Structure 1
Amino acid sequence: MQKKLIKVNPADNVIVALTDLVQGEQIAFEGTTVSPTTDVKAKHKIAETDFEIGDDIIMYGVLVGRASKPVAKGEVITTENVKHKSEEVFGKNGNLGWTPPNVDRWKDKTFNGYHRADGQVGTKNVWLFFPLVFCENKNIEKLKEIFENELMPKKDVSYKNLLRSLIEEKSVEEVVDKSPNENLLDNIEVKFINHQGGCGGIRQDSELLAKLLAGYVNNPNVAGATVLSLGCQNLQISIFKDALKEMSPNNDKEILIYEQQQIGTTDQMFQMVIKDSYEAIKRANQIKRKPAPLSKLNIGLECGGSDGFSGISANPALGVVSDIFAALGGKTILAEFPELCGVEQELMDRCVDEEKANKFLSLMRAFEKSVVDAGSGFDMNPSPGNIKDGLITDAMKSAGAAKKGGTSPVVDVLDYGEYISKPGLNLLNTPGNDAECTTGLVGAGATVVLFTTGLGNPMGNPIAPVVKISSNSTLINRMSDIIDVNAGTVITGEKTIAEVGAEIVDYIIELASGNIETKADQLKQDVFIPWKRGVSL
């Protein structure tokens, strides 16, 4: 029988409802009886004891809020009676010990990936088209139409046929296209991204965008790229080349760059781009998958559309995955700095040296100051969906979100636009915004992104597979077309966190080898949204 209540950490003074609770029912829990004062929805928290105004609210063993009103034992914790509060941070205070997990099950396993000359190994083989400035977006879109129509199989015709059937007043079966074209190039994906940057803002925005785009080219999932420049924009070709050279001095990937103002007419440019790119794509298509150790995988860790179970099931399962890859010599990346508010001290103590700890604290404080200067604060981070599903303060959300990073040492701290280089757990400065975070993780080198969600999010990425992991079983039953792995089995008691973590590792190996495809990739949910370093939570 499924448990009704759980206390996440022995030090906590709130209890999580695992199922819907009825007012007044008597629930045996840890040698005592708990009786809700009202009906309680699953995922929400109730007070284990009476709280007076100003009393600390503890969850995950850390401070996550303060009582703003008296709260009775058994009463639901809400935004009306509890406000955000997090621990003060004073600096690195020693080192936290770490015992690596047993990885005998995976230490000799390999995945079939795309080996690059610099030693990196990709999980995909992508030829990427992108502009240096938004003025070239339409040209990128036209190239996408041309290349996808001629090179890619036309799998996704159902909605087009539905619209045509309505227009022609026929059944869908009467207007179904002939069989889809065969993919002419079976070992390469051609992807296209655009953006709203490159000019018109401050120069720092363009420089940061150059680093991000360089990270995408340097990502081992990319075989080469076609780049369009107008010519007069802030993000000059030289700035992009310098960013790529600094990131990867010996980069030997084919990168085709075209400057429209130097070429002439659009027709002239298109003829050059199409001819040159097709020949380069054919060469990239010759690259084949070969075995590689799991240490060559770069795993991004993210949550979005979180609920009250995310920090209890899916996020801790990712923590298991992160620790396993750290023990195997792989790289993992924990991002979303606004969602690390309240756990800074623990993360600083996990940093391998004081320099990394100080960089982390400096980036966190600068980020928070920029938000406060704009009239907001990290306490405004939880979305209406988060709050409705039991995440009522930023510190509560953050304490659960940080579980994705497991317990291993923090080997490096990166600002947005920097690229990973050290095996182990890395911290990356990004907003919590799902699209901006995923975009940044892949720009930092992630070849697979693990994305936990309690409410559902279809988003993917143009060059890296994004694995959706549900925190509850209701979600995967309701939105099965976007969820890849179900961690809700932890909540129902069917599996342990360790078992779900192991399941995800096995899934990653199959995914990285090209044997399975994420739901986001099946739905072509390619999202690329750079962070402009303004206020974004």
Structure 2
Amino acid sequence: MQKKLIKVQAEDNVAIALVDLVQGDRVQYEGEEINILSDTKAKHKIAFVDLDKEDQIFMYGVLVGKAMFPIKRGDVLTTENVKHQSDLVTKKTRTVSWNAPDISKWKDRTFMGYHRPDGQVGTQNVWLFFPLVFCENRNIEVLKEVFEKELSMGKERKQRQLLRNLINGNDADFNDGKAETSSETFDNVDVKFITHQGGCGGIRQDSQTLAKLLAGYVKNPNVAGATVLSLGCQNLQIDLLKNALNDIDPNLNKPVLIYEQQQMGTVDEMLNTIIKDSFAGIKAANAIERKPASISKLKMGLECGGSDGFSGISANPALGYASDILAAVGGSPILSEFPELCGVEQELVNRCVNDEDAVRFMKLMKAYEASAEAAGSGFDMNPSPGNIKDGLITDAMKSAGAAKKGGTSPIVAILDYGEYVTKPGLNLLCTPGNDVESTTGMVGSGANIVVFTTGLGTPTGNPIAPVLKVSSNTILAERMPDIIDIDTGAVIRGEKTIQQMGEEILEYVVMVASGEIEAKADVLGQDDFIPWKRGVSL
């Protein structure tokens, strides 16, 4: 028989409803009978003890809120009777010892990836087009239409006809207008396109941050080469991108084609040149084939979005166990979304290997929260209406569950937005909690695959990295099968352990990284890219 209630840790004074409960129900839990005082939907929390006004509320073993007025044992917690509260963190208080998982079956595992000259290995092989400024978005869209339709046997447009001729080895710019059939296939390369609204018009720091982010996309092992369009007069100058590329890798051995419209004459002349040059690069990239690589070459972004009251007890801890395995074999999991780490700072500070990283983490968190408060918001306003509806009623409660994605491994580095992952082990990256901004940032920091847990469902993807969706419950997986890759609902039903589910997630990651399975987000063509402006974005 399925349990009706669960406490995450023994010291918690609240319990999670695993099924819908009705006022008057008497529920047996660990030898005790609890009288349910109000209708409680699955995923929501009930008080496990009588709470007086101002009493602290603990879940996942951490402080997640306080009672606004007395709450009786068996009554439901709501936004009306509970307010956000979290512990004040001032310093590292102890060093946490780590019980690493058994990696005997994983230490020699490989995936089939694309090897790069710098030693990184990609899970995809992408030729990437992007602009330095929004003024070039239209030209990017034209190139997207040309390349996507022609390489997929599309038809008609002047530039598309040029590309068709190039594919068939015809040096002439245009033929008599008759369509020709492509004689060459491009099975080993994807051509992807990014547009954005930045590069000019904002503060200079935004352009500098965008330059670092775009340089990270070029550096990402999933990218074989890139075509970059500049207008010429914008804040994000070509030299700014080149400097960012040099900072991230002075020995970058990857083709990067850069074009400045104000120096190239007409749009048609520029596009024709870009198509010819880029086609040569795409053709060369297509010759790169997958080869075996250790799974230690995986840099796995850990993301959550559309979370529910089950996320913190099924999908997130299962992903956390997969993260621990990857860290133990020398891979690089990446935990981000700093607003959703509010309330678990002490645990994370104590897990930092270096004291300097502990200090940096606290500084980044405090600066971020201060900027949010200066704008009239704050981390306590982070839960979305969907989160609250499904039982995540305070930011600390949401954060305590969200942090489970990072497992229990030591933290080897604290990175600010736009900084690149270089160390094996768990890395913390400062990003917003916004799904796309966070995913965009992790991929810009080197993630070659992202695993995204969700309780409500979200279609988020990325142009150059597979984004796998993991549902916290089976109802969601059955309702949105075109979006969900992995279902962890068996954990809620008690059919699988967190460890078993974590290993299943990592097995699936290896298959996607090897090109054996396509992520649902890629099937849907979900290529989301939103850079973070360092203003407030929660």
Shorter-chain TM-score bucket reads over 0.9
Residue 67 of structure 1 and its aligned partner are, at CA, apart by 0.4
Give the Cα separation in 1 of the matches to 2:360 and 2:245: 23
Would the alpha carbon gap of residues 293 and 49 (structure 1) be closer, same or farther in structure 2, given more than 3 Å must change? same
Give the Cα separation in 1 of the matches to 2:532 and 2:291: 35
CA offset digits 1:210-245 (Å, max 9, x no partner): 000000000000000000000000000000010011
Give the Cα separation in 2 of the matches to 1:107 and 1:331: 14
CA offset digits 1:30-80 (Å, max 9, x no partner): 121011111110000000111111000100001000001211111100000
DSSP 3-state at the match of 2:346? helix
DSSP 3-state at the match of 2:303? strand
DSSP 3-state at the match of 2:247? helix
- The one-letter amino acid of 1:73's match is R
Per the alignment, residue 152 of structure 1 pairs with 152
CA offset digits 1:109-153 (Å, max 9, x no partner): 111100000000000000000000000000000100000010136
- The one-letter amino acid of 2:113's match is G
CA offset digits 1:237-290 (Å, max 9, x no partner): 000010011101110101100000011110110010001000110001000111
Residue 515 of structure 1 and its aligned partner are, at CA, apart by 0.5
DSSP 3-state at the match of 1:114? strand
CA contact (8 A) 1:300 1:449 kept: yes
The farther-off stretch of 29-38 and 210-219 is 29-38
- The one-letter amino acid of 1:483's match is I
DSSP 3-state at the match of 1:307? coil
Residue 94 of structure 1 and its aligned partner are, at CA, apart by 2.1
| Matches for 1:311-460 after TM superposition, within 5 Å | 311-460=312-461
CA offset digits 1:458-503 (Å, max 9, x no partner): 1100000000000001000100110000011100111111111000
Per the alignment, residue 165 of structure 1 pairs with none
- The one-letter amino acid of 2:64's match is V
Give the Cα separation in 2 of the matches to 1:531 and 1:36: 44
Residue 183 of structure 1 and its aligned partner are, at CA, apart by 7.8
Give the Cα separation in 2 of the matches to 1:7 and 1:501: 20
DSSP 3-state at the match of 1:300? strand
Per the alignment, residue 177 of structure 2 pairs with none
CA contact (8 A) 1:153 1:183 kept: no
Per the alignment, residue 194 of structure 2 pairs with 193
Percent identical pairs in the alignment equals 67
DSSP 3-state at the match of 1:252? coil
Residue 87 of structure 1 and its aligned partner are, at CA, apart by 0.5
Per the alignment, residue 51 of structure 1 pairs with 51
The TM-score with structure 1 as length reference comes to: 0.94
CA offset digits 1:409-441 (Å, max 9, x no partner): 000000000000000000000000001000001
CA offset digits 1:332-355 (Å, max 9, x no partner): 100000000011111000000110
Give the Cα separation in 2 of the matches to 1:140 and 1:68: 54
Give the Cα separation in 2 of the matches to 1:153 and 1:39: 57
Give the Cα separation in 2 of the matches to 1:94 and 1:67: 29
- The one-letter amino acid of 2:209's match is L
| Matches for 1:453-468 after TM superposition, within 5 Å | 453-468=454-469
Give the Cα separation in 2 of the matches to 1:379 and 1:63: 13
Per the alignment, residue 61 of structure 1 pairs with 61
DSSP 3-state at the match of 1:99? coil
Matched, 1:272 2:273: yes
Per the alignment, residue 499 of structure 1 pairs with 500
- The one-letter amino acid of 1:19's match is V
Per the alignment, residue 173 of structure 2 pairs with none
Would the alpha carbon gap of residues 94 and 183 (structure 1) be closer, same or farther in structure 2, given more than 3 Å must change? farther
Per the alignment, residue 223 of structure 1 pairs with 224
Per the alignment, residue 86 of structure 2 pairs with 86
CA contact (8 A) 1:153 1:182 kept: no
CA contact (8 A) 1:211 1:240 kept: yes
Matched, 1:96 2:108: no
Per the alignment, residue 135 of structure 1 pairs with 135
- The one-letter amino acid of 2:526's match is Q
Per the alignment, residue 523 of structure 1 pairs with 524
Residue 184 of structure 1 and its aligned partner are, at CA, apart by 2.5
CA contact (8 A) 1:197 1:206 kept: yes
Would the alpha carbon gap of residues 366 and 499 (structure 1) be closer, same or farther in structure 2, given more than 3 Å must change? same
Would the alpha carbon gap of residues 153 and 57 (structure 1) be closer, same or farther in structure 2, given more than 3 Å must change? farther
Give the Cα separation in 2 of the matches to 1:108 and 1:423: 16
- The one-letter amino acid of 2:82's match is V
- The one-letter amino acid of 1:524's match is G
CA contact (8 A) 1:152 1:182 kept: no
Instruction: Return 5+ residue gaps in structure 2 as ranges.
Output: 155-180
Per the alignment, residue 171 of structure 1 pairs with none
CA contact (8 A) 1:89 1:344 kept: yes
Per the alignment, residue 247 of structure 2 pairs with 246
CA contact (8 A) 1:152 1:183 kept: no
- The one-letter amino acid of 1:273's match is I
Would the alpha carbon gap of residues 183 and 47 (structure 1) be closer, same or farther in structure 2, given more than 3 Å must change? farther
CA contact (8 A) 1:127 1:188 kept: yes
- The one-letter amino acid of 1:266's match is V
Per the alignment, residue 206 of structure 2 pairs with 205
Give the Cα separation in 2 of the matches to 1:468 and 1:198: 31
Give the Cα separation in 2 of the matches to 1:22 and 1:117: 61
Give the Cα separation in 1 of the matches to 2:285 and 2:134: 27
Give the Cα separation in 2 of the matches to 1:181 and 1:201: 44
- The one-letter amino acid of 2:363's match is S
Give the Cα separation in 2 of the matches to 1:100 and 1:60: 20
CA offset digits 1:130-180 (Å, max 9, x no partner): 0000000000001000000101367xxxxxxxxxxxxxxxxxxxxxxxxx9
Give the Cα separation in 1 of the matches to 2:190 and 2:230: 22
CA contact (8 A) 1:151 1:183 kept: no
DSSP 3-state at the match of 1:190? strand
DSSP 3-state at the match of 2:259? strand
Per the alignment, residue 285 of structure 1 pairs with 286
Give the Cα separation in 2 of the matches to 1:408 and 1:181: 50
Residue 182 of structure 1 and its aligned partner are, at CA, apart by 9.3
Would the alpha carbon gap of residues 181 and 516 (structure 1) be closer, same or farther in structure 2, given more than 3 Å must change? farther
CA offset digits 1:498-529 (Å, max 9, x no partner): 11100011101111110100100000000000
- The one-letter amino acid of 2:273's match is M
DSSP 3-state at the match of 1:469? strand
- The one-letter amino acid of 1:11's match is E
Give the Cα separation in 2 of the matches to 1:231 and 1:152: 32
Per the alignment, residue 535 of structure 2 pairs with 534
Give the Cα separation in 2 of the matches to 1:181 and 1:79: 60
Give the Cα separation in 2 of the matches to 1:516 and 1:374: 44
Per the alignment, residue 14 of structure 2 pairs with 14
Would the alpha carbon gap of residues 462 and 183 (structure 1) be closer, same or farther in structure 2, given more than 3 Å must change? farther
CA offset digits 1:288-324 (Å, max 9, x no partner): 1110011111000010000000000000011101100
The TM-score with structure 2 as length reference comes to: 0.94
- The one-letter amino acid of 1:535's match is V
